Amino acid sequence: MDIFIEYLKAFVVGGLICVVGQLLIDFTKLTPARILVGFVVAGVILGAVGLYGPLVEFAGAGATVPLTGFGYNLAKGVKEAVEESGLIGALTGGLKASAGGIAAAIFFSLLAALIFKPSDRSISG
Amino acid sequence: MNLTKQEYEKLNQKASKNTKSYITLPMAFLVGGLICTLGQALMDLYSTLGFNEKDAGMLVSASLIFLTALFTGLSLFNVLAKHAGAGTLVPITGFANAMVSPALEFKSEGFILGLGAKMFIIAGPVLVYGISASIIYGIILYLVQVFAG
């Protein structure tokens, strides 16, 4: 039962964060690129003011999987690094905390681009 | 049928206008929610395997990115994204797809300025502003630490 509630919380909170993105797509002229940038920066800010941490505790992957979670992870990494090593932590903390994800994204993108053929995007047919 | 770019844009706009919010919003909720639930299941799996919370979280991201790369390569991601909208865009899958998709499409323009550069056409700005925001936060934190003791 516990695991069901855990999954339900991840589902509902993750779903709602995506609904915010869909509202932006449907009712503003923001491009997907702007929305992605906005979500990451929003995550940094919400993490910085201490609002996102409790959400992660409540919803787990429901809060960490959306891109706001990436921003939160950057902010959290910076906070820990500044507490540990001072000003230099402002430079190192963010990337240190997100190194695995960024490296994975680069490497898997390269692999996929090498292995697969581009889809036929021509409009004819 | 053969269409000019303008005609295609027109059709595209028409199609977009017909997508009503009472369809797009529940779809985004459903698909986005399911991706996060999958993330939670993976999180539990990696925790059970003995990884600490940080490593497990990283592995969840890496796994979802891997799956996105695979589905994008197989041309399946676009099919899902078309119906899911923000449901696939907002989770880490959207970031991953924004890297894989141009890397694959621009491979024909070369491995350096095609694949290598275009990979970051959307991911680049995300990293630039995300990392910069976090550095500003770090500087503020440091100043608060110094002056507030």
Q: Is the ipTM of this complex over 0.90?
A: yes
Contact A60 B74 (CB under 8 A): no
Whole-number percent of chain B with pLDDT over 70:
88
Residue of A nearest to B27 (CA): A19
Tell me, what's the pLDDT at A119? Answer: 78
How many pairs of residues across A and B have Cβ atoms under 8 Å apart?
Answer: 283
Q: Domain range for residue A58?
A: 2-115
Q: What is the mean pLDDT of residues B39-62?
A: 97
Q: Would you say residue B53 has pLDDT above 60?
A: yes
Mean pLDDT over B36-59 rounds to 97
How does pLDDT run across A50-100, given as a tens digit for each residue?
A: 999 999 999 999 999 999 999 999 999 999 999 999 999 999 999 999 999
- The number of beta carbons lying within 10 Å of the beta carbon of residue B8 is 11
Q: Which residues of B touch A94 (CB under 8 A)?
A: 130-131, 134-135, 138
Lowest mean pLDDT among A41-45, A77-81, B14-18, B125-129: B14-18
From the CB of residue B66, how many other CB atoms can be counted at a distance below 10 Å?
Answer: 17
Contact A78 B135 (CB under 8 A): yes
Please give the DSSP secondary-structure letter assigned to residue A118.
P
Number of structural domains found in chain A: 1
**A125 within some domain:** no
Contact A125 B1 (CB under 8 A): yes
Contact B133 A41 (CB under 8 A): yes
Residues of B in contact with A59 (CB under 8 A): 36
Q: Which of A11, A105, A119 sits opposite B75 (nearest CB)?
A: A119
CB A119 to CB B145 under 8 A? no
* pLDDT value at B15 more than 70: no
Residues contacting B72, CB < 8 A, separation 6+:
A112, A116, B78, B96, B97, B100, B101, B104
The answer, yes or no, to whether residue B149 has pLDDT greater than 90, is no
- Of A10, A39, A59, A56, give the one whose Cα is nearest residue B33: A10
Is the pLDDT confidence value at A110 over 90?
Answer: yes
pLDDT at B73 over 70: yes
Residue B89 has which token pair?
Answer: 């865009």
Distance CA A14, CA A61 (A): 8
Check pLDDT > 70 for residue B10: no
| Predicted local confidence at residue A113, as pLDDT | 97
How confident is the model at residue B19, as a pLDDT?
A: 72
- The 10s digit of each residue's pLDDT in B99-130 is 999 999 999 999 999 999 999 999 999 999 99
**Tokens standing for A30?**
């923001």
What sections of chain B are H helices per DSSP?
5-18, 21-48, 53-73, 77-84, 86-89, 92-105, 117-118, 120-148
Residue of B nearest to A5 (CA): B37
Beta bridge partners of A66: B91
In-domain check, residue A55: yes
CA distances, B107 to each of A74, B91, B101, B112 (Å): 30, 25, 10, 9
pLDDT at position A124 is: 39
Q: Is the pLDDT of residue B1 over 90?
A: no
User: What does the pLDDT average to over A1-27?
Assistant: 96
**Interchain contact, B138 vs A23, CB within 8 Å:** no
For residues B4 and B12, give the distance between their C-alpha atoms in angstroms, rounded to a whole number: 12
Assigned domain for A59 exists: yes
Subunit contact A33:B122, Cβ cutoff 8 A: yes
**Euclidean distance between CA atoms A73 and A98, whole angstroms:** 7
Torsion sign (Cα): B76, A61, A17, B128? negative
Other CB atoms closer than 10 Å to residue A65's CB: what's the count?
33
User: Quick one: average pLDDT of B65-81?
Assistant: 96
Contact list, A124 vs chain B (CB under 8 Å) = 1-3
Among A14, A22, A106, whose Cβ lies nearest the Cβ of B36? Answer: A14
